[in-house]
Structure 1
Amino acid sequence: MIRFDNVGLRYGSGPEILRDVTFHVHPGSFHFLTGPSGAGKTSLLRLLFMSIRPSRGLIFVFGENLADLAPAGRAALRRRIGIVFQDFRLLDHLTTWENVALPLRVMGKSESDYADDVTDLLHWVGLGNRIHAYPETLSGGEKQRAAIARAVIGRPELLLADEPTGNVDPAIGNRLLRLFVELNRLGTSVIIATHDYGLMEQLDAPRLMLQEGRLQVGAPQLSVR
């Protein structure tokens, strides 16, 4: 499903952010991506979402070599991926409900088919009283939960989450982890980038460990089913 072959990444003429990264993730797996700040976690997720290109090496997602894809093919592949960015990227002119429903609208689904699902999910993540609020009125934790709900509402084949519990309290963090686990049980592959070792200790899932841009040799079982 995902394969990195000797991937390197640098921005401009700066030093390499990622160096000779090689790993293979099977469909339906759940991984934590961990390492200190600056290790390259966010950059690796951006590569997977095709918002940047590697400086060298090959990346395959859903069996497709990303280097071979035309813009239309990249757009089609992105629609199969849910992503939670650290900066949330909610659309300011849309309400919380409209932001969460957006992926389903883009897929061409009728509002009558998904309206209840969007509302139920917002209640589940603790935003039932913020359905009609606009992003500028939401707290950081509320924006985080709205971004997560938007990422999972369409049951993507792959979910990428960058520090998804960084702005929420432990109780909400545990609830969000359960949401990710349930989505994984339904068949979604999940990669969560996090510094939260307490969160990782709650789930027996392999870890992709980055240190100064390299995957550590001692990282537990990088290829799992």
Structure 2
Amino acid sequence: MKTGSLLSGAEEPVVRFESVGMRYGLGPEVLSDVSFEIAPHSFQFLTGPSGAGKTTLLRLILLSVRPTRGIVSVFGREVSGISNDALTGLRRRMGVVFQDFRLLDHLTTYENVALPLRVQERAEASYRAEVVELLRWVGLGERMHVLPPLLSGGEKQRAAIARALIARPELLLADEPTGNVDPSLARRLLRLFMELNRLGTSVVIATHDYGLMDLVEARRMVLADGRLRVEGP
């Protein structure tokens, strides 16, 4: 299978890193001289050994941390020095699946997935059917009224993925999104990410699962020792 598209001359990259370095406190650099672009409508994997800096790279794209040096641009905006309101506006154009799920325990599965649409102040009548359909697709149709503490790890993972997808973000960041599901469901979720990509969303999936990556002919961004190399189309 092939996915992704070429960046046309008329479109800004969704993400651009220029000679980015990142360290925490006085420690050594976690990332060193990282430069790359993510094209609109593209699909790529982010991989590398544990501790290579994948989560830090995702946090930089998500604008939850700032680089120690270099330039990070998201949706055509260079992010150093911009206001918190502007950062919030950029983040709302992204969907993210965290390794620790970050579901709200006092909300049902349905309410967690619908939350990004509620934040947009949409009326429930305008999105209820869409939320229910997505929950059924990821196998949570019978669990939509259950609170997260009563869900299994795999069910929490699927709920987190559904929440990230529901608003059809321009950029989806997924940190080990298939780590708690069986291989069959992992392939099904991958097809969901690919369908979202075909609808126009740029997708970045951080994963150690080479079997999953081998199912798709897509670019791989490989981190090792804080440095990045790009493989594939």
* Normalised-by-shorter TM-score class: over 0.9
1:3 maps to amino acid: R
The match for 1:184 is 197
Of 192, 195, 212 in structure 1, the residue corresponding to residue 225 of structure 2 is 212
Instruction: Measure, in 2, the Cα distance between the counterparts of 1:69 and 1:102.
Output: 26
Distance in 2 separating the partners of 1:180 and 1:21: 26
Determine the structure 2 residue equivalent to 1:157: 170
Q: How does 1:103-118 map to 2 (within 5 A)?
A: 103-118=116-131
Counterpart of 1:95 (choices 94, 100, 108) is: 108
With normalisation by structure 2, the TM-score equals 0.93
Give the aligned residue type for 2:65. I
**Runs (5+) with no aligned partner, structure 2:** 1-13
- Determine if the alignment matches structure 1 residue 50 to structure 2 residue 50: no
Aligned-residue offset at 1:86: 0.4
Offset, 1:144 = 0.5
Alignment equivalent of 1:34, drawn from 47, 51, 76: 47
CA–CA separation in structure 2 for the residues paired with 1:89 and 1:67: 27
Are 2:185 and 1:172 aligned?
Answer: yes
SS in 2 for 1:68: coil
TM (norm. structure 1) is 0.96
Aligned pairs (5 A) from 1:67-146: 67-146=80-159
RMSD: 0.8
Alignment partner of 1:46: what SS?
Answer: helix
Letter in 1 for 2:166: I
| Structure 1: gaps spanning 5 or more residues | none
Deviation at residue 68 of structure 1 after TM alignment? 3.1
Relative to structure 2, which stretch is displaced further, 10-19 or 183-192?
A: 10-19
Give the counterpart letter for 1:125 in structure 2.
V
CA displacement, residues 101-154 of structure 1 (integer Å, 9 cap, x when unaligned): 000011111100100000010010011111011111111111100000000000
Query: How big is the shift at 1:212?
Result: 1.0
- Give aligned pairs, total: 220
- Alpha-carbon distance in structure 1 between the residues aligned to 2:128 and 2:214: 35
Residue 9 of structure 2 is matched in structure 1 by: none
Q: 1:194 Cα deviation (Å)?
A: 0.2
Q: 2:77 corresponds to which residue?
A: 64
- Other-structure match for 1:23: 36
- Partners in 2 of 1:68 and 1:27 — Cα distance? 24
Tell me which stretches of 4 or more aligned residues in structure 1 moved more than 4 Å. Answer: none
Q: Distance in 2 between matches of 1:108 and 1:71?
A: 20
Q: Structure 1 counterpart of 2:107, which letter?
A: L
